[in-house]
Amino acid sequence: MNIWVVSGCSNGLGRCWTDSIIRERRDRVIGITRSEGIAHEMVEIYQDRFIPCIADVRDERELAEKLPVLAQEVGTPNRIVTSAGYAQFGTLEDLSTQQLREQFETNVEGTLNVIKPLLSFMRELAEARILVVSSMSGVACWPLLGAYQISKHAIEAIGETLRIELSNTRIQVGIIEPGPYKTGWATTSARREKISDAYDEDALIKRATCGFTVEDPKASLPFFWKMFDTPTMPVRIATSVPFIDLACVQAEEKIKAWRGSFE
Tens of pLDDT, residues 65-115: 999 999 999 999 999 999 999 999 999 999 999 999 999 999 999 999 999
Cβ neighbours around 260 below 10 Å, total: 8
User: What pLDDT is stored for residue 262 in this prediction?
Assistant: 85
Q: Nearest Cα to 237, choosing from 147, 142, 229, 250?
A: 229
Between 122-131, 150-159, 168-177, 188-197, the lowest mean confidence (pLDDT) is in 188-197
User: What pLDDT is stored for residue 118 in this prediction?
Assistant: 97
In the chain the domains, ranked by start, together with CATH numbers, are 3-261 (3.40.50.720)
Q: Nearest Cα to 79, choosing from 127, 25, 14, 113?
A: 127
User: What pLDDT is stored for residue 3 in this prediction?
Assistant: 97
| pLDDT 10s digits, 128-172 | 999 999 998 999 889 999 999 999 999 999 999 999 999 999 999
pTM: 0.94
What is the rounded CA–CA span in Å between residue 180 and residue 178?
A: 7
> If DSSP codes are grouped into helix, strand and coil, which group holds residue 229?
helix
